[in-house]
Chains A and B, each alone.
Chain A
Amino acid sequence: MFDYCVDPQSLDGFYWWSCYLTTVKHISFYKSFLVVFALLGVTVPLILIFGFMGAVARQSKLYPIRLFGITYTSIVRGVPDIIFFLFVPIALDQGIEYFRHKIKCPDWTDPIRQGNDFVVCQLAKMPMGSTEQWIHETYGFFLAALAFSIVFGAFAANTINGAINAIPRAQIETGVAYGMSRKQIFMRIQFPQMWAYALPGLSNLWMILIKATPLLFLLGVQDIVYWARELGGTKTARFTYPHEDWRLGYFIVLLVFYLLLSWLSEIFFDKLTLRVTRGQATLSGINNKNSGNRSS
């Protein structure tokens, strides 16, 4: 990076560090912090959509839809999230390739599952074998984000469902008395108010989501954990910047990053709670504060 970095062996102290911390790999490490925020940015809207749909499904008058909503939320909550993170991307990947195979190669006669192999025709590969590396990586990232959204969507569905039910019954009865339809009641009374009730649960979910982001590493995404392990590992004298096993140091940097993120989020949500519950005759905005729910 700097001019004096040409011969790192001759450097020591501050100069050595300034060169070491600005190597190409370190820049990638710094950039990978953005991957965490990218994941949060992509998943949060999806989680809210999944959560909202799940909650609406659980409120539905049609039994099959209600059953679907209940099954979705209870299965996801009964199984460790990590199993979903492992299962969903590979299942989606194989599922998509299976359907593309059926559509694009109808005259293919060999079975897809040949013993221990999963074989589809070249055209059905997703993404195509010929595409560039970054497309493969982005595709993998989005499958991972989808897995996160499905899992956390179930938790959000539970929270939102509870929030819809928490709206005082009298208000809904008033709506009925005014001759509003079910849809109108939902859109004008329940929907605008449920956020105040859902906020404690959703902020809790956000804290859990933050702490689940390092699991991206397990899905093969080059995130901060990947780079921390990569950079921290012992570097022998063959390397330009030899050092011992510094993984502990790198992980402590990650620890500090997550502590900061949690702490800032807590401050933000405290402010937001004050704002959303303004003018509402309810204690629920401050209720859930100490419940301390979590996930891995």
Chain B
Amino acid sequence: MSCFQTLTDYGLRSIGLGVRGLPKADISLCDQIVLIGSGMIWNIYFAVIALFLGFFAATTIAFAKNSSVALFRIPSSIFIFLLRGSPLFIQFFIVYETFVLLPKVGIDLNLLITEITIETRWLTRAWLGALIVLFLNTTAYSAQIFYGAIQSIPIGDIEAAQSLGLTDKQINKRIILPTMLRLSWSSYTNEAIFLFHATALVFFSSFPAWQQKGDSLYYASYFADKTFNPFVPYPIIAIFFIIFTLIIIYIFNSIDKRLNKHI
């Protein structure tokens, strides 16, 4: 079987397209590269959505933690402490067990044009359940990073804005928010890389992979078990992760350049 054939058969296997059965015997290098690469789709999916949503949630929580109103400050501090103080691995277990205990019901959402049913059983699937955990986790870490940045904004900047007659809302939007992003961007880049690496844990998160539609580590450990040779699949997945880590660094550095354009 040619490698091109493998690519068309297994290239999108992780999202359920292509040949059903996974290769069992005579596993070639090409099989491993294609399937592990196919699994990376899930890692990228988790990382991109969790980071995107987490960014906005983290900004909100960072401002809440910085707020002088106790009603905002205390819950956000507790949220950050809980999620930063405990291992992601344990968080996966706790959230999974909670979701399993939830009653299995469908909630009908009436969206003017169509009606969709949101089912709670989706929460026990990796695509939603694990995503929620990763989202909450990155929100807490990023919020702490952003909060630290807000704390180190030079007070003179804010005083200058006040003396120019800017309202609190304007100061938040035009002074604090951009300065916060600029100060925290390198730490936030680290966080993005760590979150991307944390998506590898989804495989062990007890959220089951359904119909062998797994992430990259699912396929890597499948091959390591089948061939009893760790020296091929793990280096392959490592190289995939390194490539995507470099891409993240490139994207974040370009944003950093934009943020610092005027300096």
CB pair A218–B204 under 8 Å, yes or no, is yes
Asked, given contacts A87-B230, A116-B227, A291-B145, whether A258 binds B86 with beta carbons under 8 Å apart, the answer is yes
- Cα A68 to Cα B106 in complex, Å, equals 56
CB pair A252–B230 under 8 Å, yes or no, is no
Within 8 A of B (CB), among A45-97: 75, 78-83, 86-87, 90-91, 94
CB pair A225–B148 under 8 Å, yes or no, is no
For residue A208, which residue of chain B has the nearest CB? B194
CB pair B230–A91 under 8 Å, yes or no, is yes
Is A238 interfacial (CB-CB < 8 Å)? no
Q: Which of A79, A86, A225, A251 contacts B97 (CB 8 A)?
A: A251
Question: What is the total of A-B residue contacts with beta carbons within 8 Å?
Answer: 138
Asked, given contacts A251-B97, A291-B145, whether A79 binds B187 with beta carbons under 8 Å apart, the answer is no
**A117 / chain B contacts, CB cutoff of 8 Å:** 228
CB pair A292–B148 under 8 Å, yes or no, is yes
CB pair B221–A296 under 8 Å, yes or no, is no
**B25 / chain A contacts, CB cutoff of 8 Å:** 116
B178-206 vs A, Cβ < 8 Å mask (1 yes, 0 no): 00000000010011001001111100100
**B147 / chain A contacts, CB cutoff of 8 Å:** 290
- Cα A295 to Cα B91 in complex, Å, equals 13
CB pair B90–A254 under 8 Å, yes or no, is yes
- Count chain B CB atoms within 10 A of each CB in A214, A218, A296 and give the residue with the most: A296
- Cα A215 to Cα B89 in complex, Å, equals 7
**B79 / chain A contacts, CB cutoff of 8 Å:** none
Within 8 A of A (CB), among B207-253: 217, 220-221, 224, 226-231, 234, 237-238, 241-242, 245-246
Within 8 A of B (CB), among A79-121: 79-83, 86-87, 90-91, 94, 113, 116-118
For residue B88, which residue of chain A has the nearest CB? A296
Asked, given contacts A254-B90, A258-B87, whether A81 binds B141 with beta carbons under 8 Å apart, the answer is no
CB pair A292–B86 under 8 Å, yes or no, is no
Within 8 A of A (CB), among B132-149: 141-142, 144-145, 147-149
B149-177 vs A, Cβ < 8 Å mask (1 yes, 0 no): 10110000000000000000000000000
CB pair A81–B86 under 8 Å, yes or no, is no
Is A293 interfacial (CB-CB < 8 Å)? yes
Within 8 A of B (CB), among A246-296: 247-248, 251-252, 254-255, 258-259, 262-263, 289-296
Q: Taking the nearest CB of chain A, how far is it from the CB of B136, in angstroms?
A: 13
**A294 / chain B contacts, CB cutoff of 8 Å:** 84, 141, 191, 194
For residue A229, which residue of chain B has the nearest CB? B93
**B72 / chain A contacts, CB cutoff of 8 Å:** none
For residue A87, which residue of chain B has the nearest CB? B234
Q: Which of A91, A211, A259 contacts B82 (CB 8 A)?
A: A259
Q: Taking the nearest CB of chain A, how far is it from the CB of B143, in angstroms?
A: 9
Is B81 interfacial (CB-CB < 8 Å)? yes
Asked, given contacts A79-B242, A295-B197, whether A258 binds B90 with beta carbons under 8 Å apart, the answer is yes
Asked, given contacts A214-B87, A259-B85, A294-B194, whether A248 binds B145 with beta carbons under 8 Å apart, the answer is no
**B100 / chain A contacts, CB cutoff of 8 Å:** 245
- Cα A123 to Cα B102 in complex, Å, equals 53
For residue A265, which residue of chain B has the nearest CB? B85
Asked, given contacts A289-B148, A290-B147, A292-B145, whether A251 binds B194 with beta carbons under 8 Å apart, the answer is no
- Cα A71 to Cα B230 in complex, Å, equals 21
- Cα A75 to Cα B239 in complex, Å, equals 9
Is B260 interfacial (CB-CB < 8 Å)? no
Q: Taking the nearest CB of chain B, how far is it from the CB of A69, in angstroms?
A: 18
Is B28 interfacial (CB-CB < 8 Å)? no
Is A212 interfacial (CB-CB < 8 Å)? yes
CB pair B234–A80 under 8 Å, yes or no, is no
**B19 / chain A contacts, CB cutoff of 8 Å:** none
CB pair A255–B97 under 8 Å, yes or no, is no
Asked, given contacts A91-B230, A293-B191, A295-B194, whether A79 binds B87 with beta carbons under 8 Å apart, the answer is no
Is B113 interfacial (CB-CB < 8 Å)? no
Q: Which of B86, B93, B152, B230 contacts A211 (CB 8 A)?
A: B86
Apart from the given pairs A79-B242, A292-B142, 19 other A-B contacts in the complex at a CB distance below 8 Å: A80-B199, A80-B201, A83-B220, A83-B237, A87-B230, A90-B224, A116-B228, A117-B228, A212-B87, A214-B89, A225-B93, A252-B94, A255-B91, A258-B87, A290-B149, A290-B151, A291-B187, A296-B194, A296-B201
Binding site for A on B (CB under 8 A): 25, 81-82, 84-91, 93-94, 97-98, 100-101, 141-142, 144-145, 147-149, 151-152, 187, 190-191, 194, 197-201, 204, 217, 220-221, 224, 226-231, 234, 237-238, 241-242, 245-246
Binding site for B on A (CB under 8 A): 75, 78-83, 86-87, 90-91, 94, 113, 116-118, 210-215, 217-218, 225, 228, 245, 247-248, 251-252, 254-255, 258-259, 262-263, 289-296
CB<8 Å pairs between A and B, sample of 26: A80-B241, A83-B200, A83-B237, A86-B221, A87-B234, A87-B238, A113-B229, A118-B228, A211-B87, A212-B87, A214-B87, A214-B90, A225-B89, A225-B90, A245-B100, A248-B98, A255-B94, A258-B86, A258-B87, A258-B90, A259-B85, A259-B86, A290-B148, A292-B141, A294-B194, A295-B198
